Amino acid sequence: MGPENSNKANNYPRPTAPFVPPQTNSPFTSSRPVIGSQPSPFTPTSAPTPPTTSPSYPPGPVSGSSGPAFRPVQTGRPTPPYGPPTSGPFQRFPTQPFPLSSQPPPPHTSPVVQPISSPITRPPPSQFPPMSNFQNRQPPIPTMPVNGVPSSINGPPMQQPPPSIGSTHPAVRPAQTSTWPGYPGVQTSSAAPVSNQGGYVAPPPTSSVPFSSHQVGYGPTPPVASPLGMYGGPTPPTGGMAGLVEDFSSLSIGSMPGSYDAGLDTKVLPRPLEGDVEPTSFAQMYPMNCNSRYLRLTTSAIPNSQSLVSRWHLPLGAVVCPLAESPEGEEVPVINFATTGIVRCRRCRTYVNPYVTFTDGGRKWRCNICALLNDVQNDYFASLDSNGRRVDLDQHPELTKGCVEFVAPAEYMVRPPMPPLYFFLIDVSIYSVKSGMLEVIAETIKSCLDKLPGSTRTQIGFITFDSTIHFYNMKSSLTQPQMMVVSDLDDIFIPLPDDLLVNLSESRTVVDAFLDSLPSMFQDNLNVESAFGPALKAAFMVMSQLGGKLLIFQSTLPSLGVGRLRLRGDDIRAYGTDKENALRIPEDPFYKQMAADFTKFQVAVNVYAFSDKYTDIASLGTLAKYTGGQVYYYPSFQAAIHKDKLRHELARDLTRETAWEAVMRIRCGKGVRFTSYHGNFMLRSTDLLALPAVDCDKAYAMQFALEETLLTTQIVYFQVALLHTSSSGERRIRVHTAAASVVADLGEMYRQADTGAIVSLLGRLAIEKSLSYKLEEARNAIQLRIVKALKEYRNLYAVQHRVGTRMIYPESLKYLPLYGLALTKSTALRGGYADSQLDERCAAGFTMMALPVKKMLKLLYPSLLRVDGYLLESSMKADVFEKVCKRLPLAAESLDSRGIYIYDDGFRLVVWFGQMLSPDVFRNLVGEDLATDFSRVSLVRDNEMSRKLMDILKKLRGADASYYPLCHLVRQGEQPREGYLLLSNLVEDQVGGMNSYVDWILQIHRQVQQ
């Protein structure tokens, strides 16, 4: 909101995150006098503070609430030094000796901080981590840059270079080199003066210190080295590079002596081998923000002008996962404003959050989003203490935490909260029976009945269908379910007004009896037809009273009645023409219409498809797409192979915590507006997402735009509100609040970019594009965006620095090209007709549209682990597994024919056995016969090594419960299984006409330079 505020936040040393949010401001509030005593631009601010706010700035020690810290902004904003920075963020505070967030604080700052710190210990210790903590943490700060997180504000400490900076670097070195083992390797002709600023261009081998950009950013500017900064020689660099060098990373590209190829060493390319590294600077700047698992912005520096937006070529938006699973001990607090009613802003309807400020002795509060002054209801009133903090702050989690859940009173309901409702629509035609699907699902549903959320309120119902539709009367007074067959498909009617949908606890015995007899009931069914459309309509009629979750199990192409589909997609000529995309959208408008109707009546549809032949997932998936559901696809389902996967995923679907009849809205500050939404939901109005059912495995992406040409605020707030009915039957509102600073500098936007969120959004945009354009165009769009972004970034620095032929990119986006490449090679977007089955492509597309960020990144750049060393070493304990088995680059080069590798993308595990693997190991793991058919072999054997391998697989599966990765075994050279299971997924290799990583980088680099 105000300039001071952001400064204060920056001022706050990084490792002190444990502070309870509101108090974080306090040091800065109280530090005001200290700052004021210096010739700093802050002085004027305290002076013009209007009388109302003045009490909140007693010169003495303050333990401020969020209120006072933010308040001056509204009044004292106009101080000139805070005007839009011209180039670097640090220039905003030209005379500020204060360390910015992630810099090693110059020594003289600690005296400044210390006086502040002592008063801080006065508030109750329960809220305030002792200040000694604060101080103790200071010494490690200089090494903070090691963490490799691009600092939020990266200006070099202007005045006092820490004398120890030279010694910091050696300390840094091991961490860096171990992380990027290959980096020091490259030596190229581009030994330009600045060649070392990036992490990836290393000087000749002797000086093995690749200074990564962010470190460089902290370096002081000793006059000695600044003129040249030549750093190619073996002489260890002084901090000299720092002054010259901006914080970007670079790759040397161009032929070098002794190398025959394009001059790019594959080893130096950045790879996300640590998985998803979230930028932490954001969370540290605004510790009261909700956790990044709920909300991630593509860049946490919001551009302040349209022109800046147009120069940021990547998507500008957020990825929201409103119900993400929180780890133990971090449960979302539930707040019940029983008497008060939920406290919201009168005008913009923002929920009360940690960033609102209380004034007027606690009688008014100012909305942080629209700045309206609201009255505090009597019940909610608490007086402010001398620092302007509410005295009862510790009893109000909604004022200290960015993520809370409110219990909603009756005015948030249009009808009584619905019970959890599960309805099953099961295809019982011949293929379902023969593949064993029917048996597995009957078994799984039965085993989950006790664990369904909602205890005694849960409702359940079944319809089965082949060429006719079978209804089941489950009335609790019956002992056996009654089956009613409707064969008139043109005019669907429901044979019973109720009892098709029953309360589970009352009719438990009937349901059990039904599930027991279901597989045997149809075991001789030879019907091959599928009256899917009419059955869907029947299910809709049954469910439309209440809403709920509809699980569809479909194993053939719908062939009868309304909504029948025809075989398509086998026409190879359609690919590459304008008609190509028509294959990826529903053929029959019936499906879209049904989806819209389902959403209207609060029904979420999950589609399970099992066929070995074409089932038109594009059409069926539409039902899931617009109802907030999910598509599960098991091509060529065979119970013997896929049983565990189906069982796990169905059980997860049935038992995970689900929020019902939900709507979600994201609000943001003035001047910013959300323009488009991407994911599985239906828009009910321009900014309201209708989500009949939401759970922790669903994420939604959205893009925003600036409404005004110039943003005048200094902070933009985002608030995600999800109004839902919990399984326990309570209406609740989950609220996530986050703040992000507004910047005027493009470099800062790049520095604070979040690759994960960007890739997630880019992927969703590309998949949406593939629905109306050719795949080729969707892929090109990704490439173009990356090229434009890097080009803009290059222009930003090319003038100041001689970047030569090197490729430069921000540290925060170092993985972006690789993820972009992985996107173009993902199942949903890769190749053409032959590269993946149409159904698989569509199913992957639907899945990717709903994936949370981490899961998406895992899918795009799966992990590849070499495990034979670990298996052979008998003494090793299971807990050293992570240390022994490091992730390897996803290239065929990483595969050694003497080893065993596990490939894990979160959806499947592939265990790859090298050809030269020792026979002993082989025998221990897969048995005697070398010629065994690997698609059928089982890994479970009674010996140490096999048990160890099973432990590894279990551990990998346990990392994320949302899907069950099925394990495939494959032997080197075993075609075609090796090809489609593993080789085609090695992202960095050249597969089927798609670029390899090196080619891709070269291509992007060429285009950037044009």
Q: Which is nearer to another protein, 601 or 934 (CB)?
A: 601
CB of 460 to another protein, least distance (A): 28
CB of 320 to another protein, least distance (A): 18
Task: Report in angstroms the alpha-carbon separations of 954 from 666, 888, 947, 951, 962.
Answer: 38, 20, 10, 5, 14
Alpha-carbon span 669 to 655, nearest angstrom = 37
595 binds another protein (CB under 8 A): yes
CB of 275 to another protein, least distance (A): 33
Q: Which is nearer to another protein, 582 or 892 (CB)?
A: 582
CB of 277 to another protein, least distance (A): 33
Q: Segment near another protein (CB under 8 A), from 134-142, 218-226, 562-570, 590-598?
A: 590-598
Q: Which of 600, 652, 656, 788 binds another protein (CB under 8 A)?
A: 600
Nearest Cα neighbor of 796 from 786, 808, 784, 806 is 808
592 binds another protein (CB under 8 A): yes
Alpha-carbon span 434 to 20, nearest angstrom = 59
- The angle that helices 816-824 and 775-798 make with each other, rounded to 10 degrees, is 170
589 binds another protein (CB under 8 A): yes
Binding mask 530-569 for another protein (x = CB under 8 A): ----------------------------------------
CB of 969 to another protein, least distance (A): 42
Q: Which is nearer to another protein, 562 or 596 (CB)?
A: 596
Q: Which is nearer to another protein, 474 or 595 (CB)?
A: 595
Q: Which of 86, 126, 178, 685 binds another protein (CB under 8 A)?
A: 685
Q: Which is nearer to another protein, 594 or 742 (CB)?
A: 594
Cβ neighbours of 710 (radius 10 Å): 13
Strands (E), 849-1001: 863-866, 900-904, 908-913, 966-971
Q: Which of 86, 126, 178, 686 binds another protein (CB under 8 A)?
A: 686
414 binds another protein (CB under 8 A): no
In contact, 757 and 319? CB cutoff 8 Å: yes
Task: Report in angstroms the alpha-carbon separations of 299 from 281, 323, 829.
Answer: 11, 22, 25
Helical H segments across 547-638, by residue range: 589-600, 617-625
935 binds another protein (CB under 8 A): no
CB of 764 to another protein, least distance (A): 13
Q: Which of 266, 306, 527, 676 binds another protein (CB under 8 A)?
A: 676
683 binds another protein (CB under 8 A): yes
CB of 629 to another protein, least distance (A): 13
Q: Which is nearer to another protein, 496 or 596 (CB)?
A: 596
Give me the residues paired with residue 549 across strands: 422, 604
Tell which phi-psi region holds residue 173, choosing left (phi > 0), alpha (psi between -120 and 50) or beta. Answer: alpha
701 binds another protein (CB under 8 A): no
Q: Segment near another protein (CB under 8 A), from 96-104, 199-207, 394-402, 683-691?
A: 683-691
Q: Segment near another protein (CB under 8 A), from 202-210, 497-505, 589-597, 934-942?
A: 589-597
Alpha-carbon span 829 to 482, nearest angstrom = 47
CB of 683 to another protein, least distance (A): 4
CB of 722 to another protein, least distance (A): 19
Alpha-carbon span 488 to 560, nearest angstrom = 11
Helical H segments across 566-708, by residue range: 589-600, 617-625, 639-655
414 contact partners, CB below 8 Å, separation of at least 6: none
In contact, 297 and 282? CB cutoff 8 Å: yes
Helical H segments across 562-638, by residue range: 589-600, 617-625
682 binds another protein (CB under 8 A): yes
Q: Which is nearer to another protein, 434 or 684 (CB)?
A: 684
Q: Segment near another protein (CB under 8 A), from 217-225, 594-602, 908-916, 959-967?
A: 594-602
Q: Which is nearer to another protein, 683 or 916 (CB)?
A: 683
Task: Report in angstroms the alpha-carbon separations of 336 from 355, 396, 530, 661.
Answer: 20, 11, 49, 20
CB of 959 to another protein, least distance (A): 35
Alpha-carbon span 442 to 453, nearest angstrom = 18
Q: Which is nearer to another protein, 126 or 686 (CB)?
A: 686
Q: Which is nearer to another protein, 541 or 930 (CB)?
A: 541
In contact, 551 and 424? CB cutoff 8 Å: yes
Q: Which is nearer to another protein, 414 or 931 (CB)?
A: 414
- Phi–psi pair at 688, nearest 5 degrees: -120, 120
In sequence order, what DSSP letters do the residues of 404-434 get, joined into one string? EEEEP-GGG-SSSPPPPEEEEEEE-SHHHHH
Q: Is the dihedral of CA 4, 9, 10, 12 positive or negative?
A: positive
Q: Which is nearer to another protein, 579 or 886 (CB)?
A: 579
SS3 (DSSP) at 187? coil
Considering CB under 8 A, how many residues would be counted as binding another protein?
15
**In the window 608-637, what residues touch another protein (CB under 8 A)?**
622, 626
684 binds another protein (CB under 8 A): yes
CB of 669 to another protein, least distance (A): 20
Alpha-carbon span 381 to 383, nearest angstrom = 7
The residues of the shown chain that bind another protein, judged by CB under 8 A, are 589, 592-593, 595-596, 600, 622, 626, 676, 682-686, 688
